[in-house]
Structure 1
Amino acid sequence: MPVTKKSPAGKTGRPPKVPGEKPTRDKIFDAAVDLFSEKGYDRTTVRDIARAAGITESAVYRHYTGKESILDAIFEYMEARVYSPLPPLPDSGNAESSIFRDLLEGLPRYIISEPVLVKIIRILFMEMPHNGNIRDYMKREYVERADDYTEALFQKQIDDNKIRSCDPRVLAEVFNSFRFTWLFRNFIIDYGKTPDVRAMEEELWPHIEFFEKLFVP
């Protein structure tokens, strides 16, 4: 049983927080993401997470009901980032933009800027085949919703005469299939390698130009 620390006044209670220290809930989240990405979701226990976060199991349960609720928090974290505009690149102000550049150009830098995203991408891809909850989430958010979202973007572009008339649903499915494949190749097949943002950006340019030549008037 953990020893309860005393405050300077002699009262018992939880140790005082260190200024700037990460909240316990965030520590648990980060520890779980690290373990899920390396050991796998099924092979990680709440005890493992508590040990990695430097807390007790009971402390984990004060913030999450269990592994499933941590997984739900991971889903929420990703959703908040996937369906938000990518930040513009520092040197992109003078370039003629297109919807394809907007959706692809800043992708490598955005993902690499948040290392936890790389780990979560690995969790989702690696756990999807044998975890029905993750598989349903991936289908719902990164297939069905992603295609709906991108189709609406492309339809607006067609209405504004910014891309040529075409079937926006088919274009959305083709475009998102490419993005899915790019993520898999760079963050699953090449997982563990030191990411080279510049090389990733250069790799994307021929694909951006391909879409622009076909669809930008």
Structure 2
Amino acid sequence: MIMTVKQAARKTGRPAKVPGDKSTKEKIFDAAIELFAERGYDGVSVRDIARAVGLTEGAVYKHFASKDEILDSIFAYVEGRIYPQAREDVPSGTLEGGLDAMVEALSLEEILASVPKFMLADQNLARITRIMLIELYHNEKIGDYFRRELMERPIDETEVLFTKLLERGKIRPCDPRAVATMFISYMVSWYFQTFILNYGRQDFDRIERETVAQIRLFAEMFKPDGERSS
């Protein structure tokens, strides 16, 4: 099934894209992310966001009922980017049948490599991570979301992926939970190094080379015995 632009926007939390210039709602969304990343969520008002976009507060409220609703849309956007089955920008046909279709269509290396690939293509994720870190211990809602959706859920979702790969004989016998924890631990370290510690001075060519090598090594470790390189 092909989603409409409107449906995709609801799915990811990001305002619908239009040909050419960004929509007003998308400009508000992007401006809020930039301001929250600079000053923290509590340090930014709806008036500040409106000024950044050249609007009145009333115009902002036509698109978002409150600043909290903007935050909810940011949460939904992150979810849509991190969890592949919720994304609208995957190649046609790849995920139309959900996780089962992805497991059937792609190799372990292709599945794992898709995660850092789309993260590198989305600089908003770095800004949003900064927001989360600034507000982690100041804003209970953001703190709960960070722990639940960015630390606990990735392991749960990846465990399901490895369980399906194991059932189809596409990886060697293993504990899916342990393997999921190992992979997500690597991704958390990779993400922190790439988007937080080295923010603004990333060497993306080097990052890509090193990431490909790490993913390839991880995939090789868990290939079925008959498929592993000698």
What TM-score comes out, normalization by structure 2 length? 0.73
Contact 1:32 1:49 in 2 (8 A): yes
Matched with 2:15 is none
Query: How many residue pairs align between the two structures?
Result: 189
- The reply on whether 1:178 has 2:186 as its aligned counterpart is yes
State the distance in 1 between where 2:174 and 2:120 align: 33
Shift of residue 191 of structure 1?
1.2
Matched with 1:28 is 28
Contact 1:109 1:197 in 2 (8 A): no
Structure showing the higher helix proportion among its residues: 2
State the distance in 1 between where 2:69 and 2:180 align: 32
- The reply on whether 1:215 has 2:222 as its aligned counterpart is yes
Change (3 A) 1:111 1:76: same
Q: Identity over the aligned pairs, expressed in percent? A: 46
Give per-residue Cα distances to partners, 1:42-90, cap 9 Å, x unaligned.
21111111110110112122222222111100011111121126857xx
State the distance in 2 between where 1:145 and 1:187 align: 20
Letter in 2 for 1:60: V
Matched with 1:152 is 160
Matched with 1:48 is 48
State the distance in 2 between where 1:153 and 1:109 align: 18
- Counterpart pick for 2:139 among 125, 131, 141: 131
Give per-residue Cα distances to partners, 1:80-130, cap 9 Å, x unaligned.
121126857xxxxxxxx7424422x24444233333233223222332232
Question: Structure 2, unaligned stretches of length 5 or more?
Answer: 1-18, 92-105, 225-230
Change (3 A) 1:201 1:128: same
How much is the aligned-residue C-alpha RMSD, in angstroms? 2.3
Range moving further from structure 2, 150-159 or 54-63: 54-63
Matched with 1:81 is 81
Change (3 A) 1:107 1:155: closer
Question: Structure 1, unaligned stretches of length 5 or more?
Answer: 1-18, 89-96
State the distance in 2 between where 1:109 and 1:43 align: 32
Range moving further from structure 2, 184-193 or 140-149: 140-149
Contact 2:171 2:222 in 1 (8 A): yes
Shift of residue 40 of structure 1?
1.5
State the distance in 2 between where 1:190 and 1:144 align: 25
Range moving further from structure 2, 112-121 or 43-52: 112-121
Range moving further from structure 2, 169-178 or 110-119: 110-119
Contact 1:112 1:118 in 2 (8 A): no
Give per-residue Cα distances to partners, 1:171-202, cap 9 Å, x unaligned.
11121111111111110111122x33321111
State the distance in 2 between where 1:111 and 1:211 align: 19
Question: After superposition, where does 1:161-172 map in structure 2 within 5 Å?
Answer: 161-172=169-180
Shift of residue 34 of structure 1?
0.8
Change (3 A) 1:157 1:136: same
Letter in 1 for 2:223: V
State the distance in 2 between where 1:201 and 1:136 align: 31
Q: Which has the larger radius of gyration?
A: 1
Matched with 2:108 is 99
Give per-residue Cα distances to partners, 1:144-164, cap 9 Å, x unaligned.
322221111101111112111
Contact 2:82 2:115 in 1 (8 A): no
